[in-house]
Structures are given as structure tokens and as C-alpha cells.
A and B are shown apart, each in its own frame.
Chain A
Amino acid sequence: MTVPLIELKDLTVDFPVGGNWVRALHGVSLTIRRGEALGLVGESGSGKSVTWLAATKLLPAKARIDGEVLLDGKPIQGLTRDQMAGVRGKRVALIFQDPTSSLNPVHRVGTQIAESVRLHRGFDAAAARAEAKRLLDRVHIPSAARRLDDYPHELSGGTNQRVMIAMALAGEPDLLVADEPTTALDVTIQAQILDLLAEMRRETGMALVLISHDLGIVADITDRVAVMYAGRIVEEAPVDALFDDPRHPYTQGLLAALPDVAGPRRRLTAIPGQVPNPAALPPGCAFAPRCPAAISGCVTAIPSLDAVAADRRTACFRAGHATPWEIAA
């Protein structure tokens, strides 16, 4: 078996909150193979962004990170912050939720892309500008040469996200982590950006991690999905298997809440209750208080993420038991 591109092993993150440590990530393990596309899904606060910010050392210095991050099988968590700069952009690129505020308002977009080109490929200023123009062409921004001299506030959110993608491509990364890349955009623009991400992945062969709160968004362009809840991965499966046969009651709940465009009209079901406060998690399974299938064992012990088939893992004592959502769906 080949060495995976990047491997997270038992990653934990704690934040200092008023003199206490609050655990945001409870041992997340994930493997990304070269060229694959993984969807990471969960509600806000489930730890999906924190996972990748921790893996790339982009969290504030006060956060405590434990566990292993292996890049090409070699641990990178021992690297200093400046050494990590050599990994970011070059090996692992990231784009974020709000493209307009993710770009520097006082620099022209061409300058910001050229900065990445020069950094990772050692071009001189003129060559970097030409490459920036080529990258804007690649992400299908019309009249790219003229857009180089625009500022982010002069461009729409969708165009700015394309600029972010162009900037990410500048380092020819092996992995692109897209953190809610379409959440701040109009619905009509969302599909275009997702298509662009899929296209860039096909062309470059880079791996993609698509972080989203929306299962429907990741379904189209990823191969595999990991569902997170309260700082843990609760289910991981190939995308088709997850949609056809969700095992974890939380995944089932997410699917029941998703409108089905092709199928018959039905009432959407919401998951009752709220995501627990990370500072006061239930003692057992974090989902137990909201779970229709919970039994007494669920509130005392935490289920581990176990393989339930060759390519899927589930963290649930009641995996496979029918829930009201499944019946409704």
C-alpha cells in the first residue's frame, strides 16, 4: 500500500477559555490519499475547520494541539511556525469561507496572486505577473489581464473566490483544503465554484478536502465523506454508501433534513435540540441527548469510531438500528 498524502492521527485541540482548557477536537484521525476528494461535514462548532487549521498550524498560538500529522508518512508537527510556512501553500493550500475579507483590501488581486507565485516558484516580478494572469484565465475570470489591477472590493464574492482558488493553485499544491468555500456566496454562484473546484482537481490531480455544513454540497464533487459532531468524526464512508445507507443516527438526521429534488415531495425533518457546548459535553456519546435511537448505554460510554465495513467507519452503539428519521425518509 502506498503512503497516504496526509494522515491525521488522534488529533486533539484545546482552547484556553477563562483559565480552563476546553477541548474542541477529541482525537480526530483521517487519511487523505493522493488525488482523492474528501468531504468533511458537520454543524458549526463540530470541529471540521479546526481540524485543518490545527493540521496546518494556523490556529492561534495559545491553542494546544496534540496528536500526529504525517505528510508523505513523515511527521510535521515538530516543525516550527516558519518551517510550516514551507508546507502551506506549497503542499497544502487553503481557501476560506468569506473570499472578500480573505483577500487583503489594500493590495491588487494580481499582486496577491503574484506574491504566491514568487514565493513558491521563484519567478521574478514580470514572470509572476504573467503567471498570475494565466491563473486568472484558468479559473475562468473574464478579461483576466484587466482584473489583475482590480482590488478585492471592486470584484464580486464569486470572482474573489476564484481569485482565492487561483492563488491556491499558484503553489501547485498536493492538497487543497476548501473551508466552506461557497457558504458566503449566492446560490447560483455556489454551483459554479464547486464545478471549478472539481475541474481544477481533475486537471491538476491534487487532493481536495471540502469542508461544509451541507451534505448536499459535498455529495457532488467528493469521493468520500466524514461526518463530524462535537469534535469527533462519527461516520466515514464512500459518498454513495453514505447516502444509500447511513449508519449513524446523526448522519441519518442530516439526510432527513436535506431536500430531495428528484424524489417525491416530503416534509423535511429537523434534528431536535442543539449542538452541545464544548465546555459541557454529555458524559457519553455527545449526540445521545438528541438521538432518537439512544439507549441507556449511550449516555454513559463514548462509542469509538470502528470499521463497520472495509471502507467505512461508524462511532455508534446503535449503528444500523432503524430510527424515526430513516423510517420517515
Chain B
Amino acid sequence: MLGYIASRAFRALVTILLVLTFAFFILNATGDPAILILSADAPPEAIEAFREEWGLNAPLWKQYLGYLWNLAHGELGRSMRDGRDAWAVVSERIPVTLAITIPALIIKLVIGISAGIVAALWRDTWVDRLVMAFSVTGYTVPSFVLGLALMLVFAVQLGWLPAAGADSWRHAILPIITLGVAGAAVLARFTRSAMLEVLGQPFIRTGLAKGLVWRAVVIGHAFPNAAIPTLTIAGFMIGSLVAGAVVVESVFAWPGVGRLLVSAVGNRDLMVVQAILLLVTVTMVSANLIVDIVYGFVDPRLRTARGGPARGGT
């Protein structure tokens, strides 16, 4: 088990390094921070001074190695916009993002999983079709379209909720719903197909054959098995708590990590972008690792430590 975690951690480090390297070169190749931050009309001396100050005149590979060197010493660099520590700039946004992504996650889990279960248990009835119709709509409509539509109806037309910003808890409602609906739609589909798959298994018939009522078979025998594939998607959603709201935060002008990422990329504020990418990759990779460990608890077939050959002779 320890060896397994160690090898997973090593692969995670490689993933993180690859992501940071790609981002470093692509951002440098596609724009000049000096011009983007100071604007193209700035006097050439100012631009030159900026370049000198941030070491942008050094060859790219030197900048890259310098970045890695700092990173290895726990230095994430400073924001070129205001000279503040990049990690400080990013970390102050994390609670703002979590304020909408955590409630949205709860909506996704509660509504998505229960809708999927209901659809599977009443398969091919109007309930199933209704749930699936909502689900298909929910995940085919892009979140910026859904967000704008909700804004149009509830903020502009009805005037019940504010359209954008983050001045009160009421501002959070539309972003939360926008995030929650799309995720619930995905989770409902996954849960439904996981349940249908399990309900078709022979051990469900065994449960009925031994004299259990349907409800007991569903709860005691179908749920624990259907939880296994559902867990994958749920884990992915947990991994995207920090960075899964880029589009929605932009639509609703919600000052979270996602919106910071968009503006930092626009400014080629390299160290801030890298800090966000590092944060996102680390949360994603750790969520996946946790899901894998939880798998072992839920599915005894994956507990390799005890495994070994079949026992019992006949």
C-alpha cells in the first residue's frame, strides 16, 4: 500500500511538472507581459525597465530554470501586476471560489445521485424520461449559456436576484445554481447507468430469491455496487472544487480563482498563472488519489493486499 501511494505520488509530481512546463513556454510564446501589463503605448524606456526588473530579457531557458529553482525552494514568485507574492494573490481567492463550489457540489451530489437512482428504478416510465430530458439539457447547454439565461430571467426580468458581483450571499445563488445544475445532470446520468448495470446482475436476482423485498435488495445489494462507478465522477467533481468555476465566475463576475486565472492569463502574469495551475493540479491529483484509496474500501476486489489465489479447494 505504501509503495502504491509512493508510485502514485511520483506520477503526480511528473504530471505537475509537465503542466507547469507547458504553461510556462506557451504563455511566454503567446504574449509579452511587459506590453500587456504596461500597455503598448507605454514609453520604450518604461517597458525596458520592466523587462529588466522581471528578468524578461534573459534567455527563456534561463528564466525556466530560474523558475524551477525557486519552485524547488518553495518560492512561487511574485505577481508582475502589483509585485505581491503570487501565492498570496491566489490563496485569498480560494475561499471566494469555495463559497460557490461547495454548495454547488452538495447540490450535484444530492440531486444528481437521487435523480439517477429514481430514473433507474422507474426505468422507461415518464419519471425516467423526465429525469433524462433534464439531464441531457443540463449537460448539453454550456454553463455560460445557462448562466446568462438564469441571469436574464431571475435578475433582469424578475429582479429577484442580483445579476453579478459578490456583495452579498444573494449574489452567490445564481452561480451556485448554474454550477449545480450542470454537475447534477452529469451525475444523474452516471448514477442511472451504474444502477441499471447493477440491477441487471445475477446477484440482484439472488437477493430476491432468498426472500428479500425489492426495497431491501436495492438498498442492501444494488447501492453498494452502484456506488463504485459513481464515486469516480464524484471524485472528479471534488477535484475541481478549486478550479471548476472558471466560466461561471467570469459570467457572474465572481472574484474567485477562476476569474483570477482568466485575467492573469490575459496579462501574461506568469507567476500567478503558474501558482493557480499548481494549485489545480495538486487538488485534482490528490482527489484522484483519495478516490483510489476509497475504492479499496468500497470494492473488496481491489484490495490486492489480501487477494491471492482462490481458496477453498472445490
Question: Which residues of B sit under 8 angstroms from A141, Cβ to Cβ?
Answer: 312
A119 and B209 within 8 A (CB): no
Near B by CB (< 8 A), chain A positions 96-153 give: 96, 98, 101-108, 115-116, 119-120, 141-142, 147, 150-151, 153
Shortest distance from the beta carbon of B90 to any chain A beta carbon, whole Å: 41
Is residue B74 contacting chain A, with contact meaning CB distance below 8 A? no
Is residue A158 contacting chain B, with contact meaning CB distance below 8 A? yes
B211 and A159 within 8 A (CB): no
B213 and A98 within 8 A (CB): no
Shortest distance from the beta carbon of B305 to any chain A beta carbon, whole Å: 12
Question: Which residues of A sit under 8 angstroms from B73, Cβ to Cβ?
Answer: none
Is residue B208 contacting chain A, with contact meaning CB distance below 8 A? yes
Shortest distance from the beta carbon of B197 to any chain A beta carbon, whole Å: 13
- Cβ-defined partner of A142 (8 Å) among B209, B212, B225, B312: B312
- A102–B209 CA distance with the chains assembled, in angstroms: 10
Question: Which residues of B sit under 8 angstroms from A249, Cβ to Cβ?
Answer: none
Is residue B43 contacting chain A, with contact meaning CB distance below 8 A? no
A101 and B314 within 8 A (CB): no
Question: Which residues of B sit under 8 angstroms from A147, Cβ to Cβ?
Answer: 311-312
A154 and B307 within 8 A (CB): yes
**Which of A105, A119, A120, A164 is the most central at the interface, judged by chain B CB atoms within 10 Å of its CB?**
A105
| Nearest CB in chain A to that of B205: its residue | A58
Question: Which residues of B sit under 8 angstroms from A164, Cβ to Cβ?
Answer: 206
Stretch at the interface among B152-160, B257-265, B295-303: B295-303
Is residue A203 contacting chain B, with contact meaning CB distance below 8 A? no
- A153–B300 CA distance with the chains assembled, in angstroms: 9
A119 and B313 within 8 A (CB): no
- Cβ-defined partner of A89 (8 Å) among B202, B209, B311: B209
| Contact flag A96-B311 (CB < 8 Å), given A104-B221, A151-B300, A153-B300 | no
Interface string of B240-251 (1 = CB under 8 A from A): 000000000000
A103 and B203 within 8 A (CB): yes
Is residue B310 contacting chain A, with contact meaning CB distance below 8 A? yes
- A170–B205 CA distance with the chains assembled, in angstroms: 17
- A259–B194 CA distance with the chains assembled, in angstroms: 45
Shortest distance from the beta carbon of B221 to any chain A beta carbon, whole Å: 5
Near B by CB (< 8 A), chain A positions 209-238 give: none
Shortest distance from the beta carbon of B210 to any chain A beta carbon, whole Å: 4
Is residue B214 contacting chain A, with contact meaning CB distance below 8 A? yes
- Cβ-defined partner of A156 (8 Å) among B220, B221, B300, B313: B313
B224 and A154 within 8 A (CB): no
Question: Which residues of B sit under 8 angstroms from A90, Cβ to Cβ?
Answer: 211
Near A by CB (< 8 A), chain B positions 267-314 give: 298-301, 306-308, 310-314
| Nearest CB in chain B to that of A82: its residue | B213
Near A by CB (< 8 A), chain B positions 137-156 give: none
What is the count of residue pairs linking A and B with beta-carbon distances less than 8 angstroms?
A: 112
B207 and A104 within 8 A (CB): yes
| Nearest CB in chain A to that of B206: its residue | A102
A167 and B210 within 8 A (CB): yes
- Cβ-defined partner of A101 (8 Å) among B203, B207, B308: B203
Question: Which residues of B sit under 8 angstroms from A115, Cβ to Cβ?
Answer: 210, 212, 220
Question: Which residues of A sit under 8 angstroms from B228, Cβ to Cβ?
Answer: 106
B202 and A155 within 8 A (CB): no
A153 and B301 within 8 A (CB): yes
- A159–B213 CA distance with the chains assembled, in angstroms: 27
- Cβ-defined partner of B301 (8 Å) among A85, A101, A151, A156: A151
Is residue A94 contacting chain B, with contact meaning CB distance below 8 A? yes
Question: Which residues of B sit under 8 angstroms from A116, Cβ to Cβ?
Answer: 210-211
- A171–B206 CA distance with the chains assembled, in angstroms: 14
| Contact flag A120-B211 (CB < 8 Å), given A58-B205, A102-B203, A103-B203 | yes
Interface string of B173-216 (1 = CB under 8 A from A): 00000000000000000000000000001110111111111100
| Contact flag A159-B312 (CB < 8 Å), given A89-B210, A104-B221, A116-B211 | yes
Question: Which residues of A sit under 8 angstroms from B221, Cβ to Cβ?
Answer: 104, 107
Contact sample, A vs B, 20 pairs, CB 8 Å cutoff: A58-B205, A82-B214, A85-B213, A88-B208, A89-B210, A90-B211, A102-B203, A103-B203, A104-B221, A106-B224, A106-B299, A107-B224, A108-B300, A115-B210, A150-B312, A153-B300, A154-B308, A168-B210, A171-B210, A171-B211
Identify the B interface with A (CB < 8 A): 201-203, 205-214, 220-221, 224-225, 228, 298-301, 306-308, 310-314
In order of increasing CB-CB distance, the 8 nearest A-B pairs are A89-B211, A159-B312, A158-B314, A94-B209, A89-B210, A151-B300, A104-B203, A102-B202
